[in-house]
Structure 1
Amino acid sequence: MTLLFPSLDVDHEAPAVQVGDVVLSRTELLEAAATVAGRVAGARTVAVHAEASMATVVSIVGCLLAGVPVVPVPPDSGPRERGHLLRDSRAELLLGSPGWEDLAIPAVPVDPTVRTALPSADNTATATSAGVGEPVGVTAGPPALILYTSGTTGAPKGVMVPAAAIAADLDALAEAWAWTPEDTLVHGLPLFHVHGLVLGVLGALRVGSRLVHTVRPTPTAYAAAGGSLYFGVPTVWSRVCDDPVSARALASARLLVSGSAPLPAPILHRLATLTGLPPIERYGMTETLITTSSRVDGERRAGWVGPPLKDIRTRLVDDETGAPLPSDGQSIGELQVQGPTLYGGYLGSPEVTADTFTADGWFRTGDAAVIAPDGHHRIVGRRSTDLIKSGGYRVGAGEVEAAILAHPQVREAAVVGLPDDDLGQRITAFVVAPDLIGGGRNTGSAAGDLTDFVARELSVHKRPREIHFVAELPRNPMGKVRKSALAPPVTR
């Protein structure tokens, strides 16, 4: 039918997509989407109120059928954020009924029960050749999706994701995970990110597997869904582990996938114990989609995100000199990527786009990583926050976090480098460990014990110089720790 939704040899009248209590067959979904496609045809860009609902799924699929770039807008976005998304994308209308009073464009309700016969011709925009002046390495073609990053500096940038990149990524993941129409995919992730939308909705539709979206990713909802393939983020899997009855109900599944943030080793091991399924971890960015993943038939290592997917190439370069680094399992460098899943650039920002590529067409991820001799990758973290230069050593924050989390009384941990006149940066840990400091125990003594514990597990120069015990770590909606919000308590 289209580049993203090919005609498949599946039962088109069987239940295909379920969101909450609403269920549609593949035919019903595509006919409802065809109604939307007719409404938006010819529009420059269309925004979608991306709540967890069947109307959202129908709206996004309808825009893709019409070849109109779609901008998913988080349902909890504030006036400033959504105003920027709508202005920057130049969206002409918003599909959905959010009740926002500050909208400067029409809001059009979408009813999944209103359907139109499918067109016989494919009117979806397909990939075209790259335009003059585009950076070497971008994926050619008009954007299917415009996904906004939560920029660390300035306003969020619109990442243009072509249909060709989405198709290539989903096909590579289907091969790595042995994902077939026989699967039932279950997740309750947001429908405005790569994980929940591209993989979790478009992936199921492209492969032909049934999708059950639980609206919220609760352990009981996951347990009741009866899936063979489950998607979650570390926060979801942590809560599943805290509900052993629900966790054990997932033992009948074929594959558990974790992404969007590193899965702490203790959670991975506990989940594997409860379900009998060591989860797969994968890595990617909005700009690259998913580029590495453990394979269903391969080794799954805690803290590692597998080898590159089909047709993806990766390399490490020295953070300061730009020289290539060996894949020796030890050298830390910037991870750079090439392949057909790369984005088409930042909307309206060709110069910023060009800066993300090397002269020979490699995308600069900005992530520090290690590559093992067998091709498995370990993501240390963002170069800006997770590669700590302390006393002449380069220390990956993720390695120190993993060591802290190995302590049986530690629940969560985040490590950053704070400015230090002597060391350049001092390794500082923020730790959630109420059992370790319970009973009125002196926090200084507990911090000393934890520092010694890390020093026994890692090189002494990697031990935290400072430990702050906190009630919780600040996280974004996808469960990633917001390290920019971490700061030592103010002393008077």
Structure 2
Amino acid sequence: MSYGPPLLLASLNPAAIAAGADIPDAVTIDDATLSRSDLLGAATSVAERIARADRVAVLAEPTVRTVLAVVGCLIAGVTVVPVPPDSGAAELEHILRDSGAQAWLGAAPDGTGLPVVPVRLHARSWHTYPEPDPASTAFILYTSGTTGAPKGVMLSRAAIAAGLDALAEAWDWTWKDTLVHGLPLFHVHGLILGLLGPLRVGSPVIHTGKPTPEAYAAAGGTLYFGVPTVWSRVVEKPELARELGKARLLVSGSAPLPVPVFERLTELTGQAPVERYGMSETMITLSTRADGERRPGWVGTPVRGVRTRLRDEAGEPVPHDGESIGGLQVRGPMLFDGYLNRPDATAADWTDDGWFRTGDVAVIDADGRHRIVGRESIDLIKSGGYRIGAGEIETALLGHPAVAEVAVVGLPDDDLGQRIVAFVVARDGGVDAAELIAHVGEQVSAHKRPREIRFVDALPRNAMGKVQKKLLS
């Protein structure tokens, strides 16, 4: 039976819920569970209070109030500006000023100068709102700001719908699944995939607060999202990892999954994890399919509607031979509408013929599978006349049993242009630098061996688990 035009949050169709399409555990978060009807009623109550606003800031803590704030804005057609709860004062000031947010919805930082609109957990409204224009901006997501002030990425409702539908098709994601994750709610991974995805396909979602192995094992889901740090911790507790073998799909993203972790997770759970690739500006454009080959270090093929290509520094095509490195460019219906207030930055990231420059470097094989080498600015190392991908060297080093974590960078060198330096977190017992260099030399060409190994206690990472290589020198 049809209940009117399709909604971005299709499972919250008021007519369908009124006809009995309710489930008791639509969203579980912060030790609280909302049924589908409770979520719709409470979020609509939020929508009534902010319907005249253009943009509001939401302090994206993993709570029921955050969920209701986000869903309420989407019902009312108000743009959401998710704010990381751990934002520093300068970052917070920049986000609020740049976004033009008119108020805080729900929780707010101490000393804020903006008005605060409360989110009431037990209020209910059954007012019906028309579906907003698909071209309208649903979110302004701020980048990590590693190369300057964070930029506001404008994502439309239509782009989000296209991205989620493409993933649902690639992963066979349906209402029969139960998604489990404990990821932050201010980025694409945890917020759009991890919250809006279930609300679009109709599957329950369990947010574990923190993504601990214990919480993941106890949740009993069929579909799990995690960043590499999560999966690294899971495989360190084999008895808990084996519980995840009951799931249908384990998905890793936001950073490359180390091959040893991939292999250990496969061994313990009986299934290889699915790896995928995306960014705030594109959402997810590449993924291993649920029914496809899962190859460690590779992020699969383009999802439905996406096209990709590789270009060198001169803009010339790079062959898809599984070896040649080029700048990755993409096209697709889930791409962003530009950077807020940054027309020059927006224009700089698009080619004249309409392709988005991701800033990442990759290789593509003859079957269309992609392997991401890293960021063009920091992971493409030019040493002694060679173009070298840091990711290949990192993979080789992670294959040594004494290496727990590694980040490879190119540092200035008067002779080579850049010399390859590996920052290594060693496991208990340690390892000799010469041994690691020789280990890499056994697996890759001689010019790719690190010239220097630096042992560190930890690698600098951001909230999504990505290594901040700019801090390594």
- What TM-score do you get using the length of structure 1 for normalisation? 0.92
1:179 to 173, 179, 186: 173
Matched with 1:92 is 102
SS at match of 1:384: coil
After TM superposition, list the pairs within 5 Å mapping 1:125-144 onto structure 2: 125-127=132-134, 141-144=135-138
In the alignment, structure 2 segments of 5+ residues that lack a partner are: none
1:213 to 191, 198, 207: 207
Matched with 1:317 is 311
Separation in structure 2 between the aligned mates of residue 290 and residue 247 of structure 1, nearest angstrom: 26
* Residues 1:2 and 1:47: Cα distance change in structure 2 (over 3 Å): farther
**Residue identity matched to 1:473:** L
Q: Do 2:381 and 2:420's aligned partners in 1 also have CA atoms closer than 8 Å? A: yes
Shift of 1:111: 2.0
Matched with 1:393 is 386
Q: Do 2:252 and 2:275's aligned partners in 1 also have CA atoms closer than 8 Å? A: yes
- Return 172-181 or 69-78, whichever deviates more: 69-78
Separation in structure 2 between the aligned mates of residue 114 and residue 281 of structure 1, nearest angstrom: 40
Matched with 2:375 is 382
SS at match of 1:345: coil
SS at match of 1:29: helix
Separation in structure 1 between the aligned mates of residue 267 and residue 427 of structure 2, nearest angstrom: 24
Shift of 1:154: 2.1
1:44 to 54, 58, 75: 54
Shift of 1:104: 1.4
Separation in structure 2 between the aligned mates of residue 152 and residue 232 of structure 1, nearest angstrom: 22
Separation in structure 1 between the aligned mates of residue 384 and residue 439 of structure 2, nearest angstrom: 21
**Residue identity matched to 1:475:** R
Q: Do 1:29 and 1:112's aligned partners in 2 also have CA atoms closer than 8 Å? A: no
Question: What's the RMSD between the two structures over aligned residues?
Answer: 1.3
* Residues 1:2 and 1:71: Cα distance change in structure 2 (over 3 Å): farther
**Residue identity matched to 2:22:** H
* Residues 1:2 and 1:100: Cα distance change in structure 2 (over 3 Å): farther
Separation in structure 2 between the aligned mates of residue 363 and residue 380 of structure 1, nearest angstrom: 18
1:272 to 250, 266, 272: 266
1:447 to 423, 426, 433: 433
Shift of 1:112: 2.2
Q: 1:87-138 deviations in whole A, cap 9, x for unaligned?
A: 111111101223411x11012221222111141x41x3213xxxxxxxxxxx
Q: 1:174-232 deviations in whole A, cap 9, x for unaligned?
A: 00000000000000000001000000000000000010001111111101100000000
Separation in structure 1 between the aligned mates of residue 226 and residue 151 of structure 2, nearest angstrom: 25
After TM superposition, list the pairs within 5 Å mapping 1:201-280 onto structure 2: 201-280=195-274
Q: Do 1:55 and 1:110's aligned partners in 2 also have CA atoms closer than 8 Å? A: yes
Q: Do 1:4 and 1:163's aligned partners in 2 also have CA atoms closer than 8 Å? A: yes
Flag as ranges the 4+ runs of structure 1 deviating above 4 A: none
Separation in structure 2 between the aligned mates of residue 196 and residue 391 of structure 1, nearest angstrom: 41
Q: Do 1:307 and 1:375's aligned partners in 2 also have CA atoms closer than 8 Å? A: yes
- What TM-score do you get using the length of structure 2 for normalisation? 0.96
Q: Do 1:50 and 1:73's aligned partners in 2 also have CA atoms closer than 8 Å? A: yes
Separation in structure 2 between the aligned mates of residue 251 and residue 153 of structure 1, nearest angstrom: 40
Q: Do 1:184 and 1:227's aligned partners in 2 also have CA atoms closer than 8 Å? A: yes
Match status 1:465 vs 2:451: yes
Shift of 1:240: 0.7
Q: Do 2:58 and 2:107's aligned partners in 1 also have CA atoms closer than 8 Å? A: no
1:341 to 320, 324, 334: 334
Shift of 1:436: 5.0
Give % identity: 62
